[in-house]
Structure 1
């Protein structure tokens, strides 16, 4: 599971971070919300997930 996602709720776009696994699914915490900006939020989330993957791989190699 990727550590970040974006959710569109009406006109608002929320960038959320994975917190922990719960009984009925994962718990997510909203980091920041925007009005509109759906494409930009997707790019930000993709970048955050890529950075998290690189960081995780680097820790494995150290």
Structure 2
């Protein structure tokens, strides 16, 4: 599971971060919300997930 996701709810676009696994599924926390900006927010989420993957791989190698 990726640590960040994009949620689109009507006009609002939310960037959320994974917190922990709960009984009925994962718990997500909204980091920031925008009105519109869907394409830019998707790029930000992709970048955050890529950075998290690189950081995770680097920690394994240390």
| Cα distance, 1:19 vs structure 2 | 0.1
The corresponding residue for 2:2 is 2
Contiguous gaps of at least 5 residues in structure 2: none
Query: What SS class does the counterpart of residue 55 from structure 1 fall into?
Result: helix
- TM-score scaled by structure 1? 0.99
| Cα distance, 1:18 vs structure 2 | 0.1
Aligned-partner Cα distance in 2 for 1:34–1:18: 19
| Cα distance, 1:39 vs structure 2 | 0.4
* Structure 1 outlier segments of 4+, above 6 Å: none
Give aligned pairs, total.
Answer: 62
The corresponding residue for 1:43 is 43
| Cα distance, 1:31 vs structure 2 | 0.1
| Cα distance, 1:47 vs structure 2 | 0.1
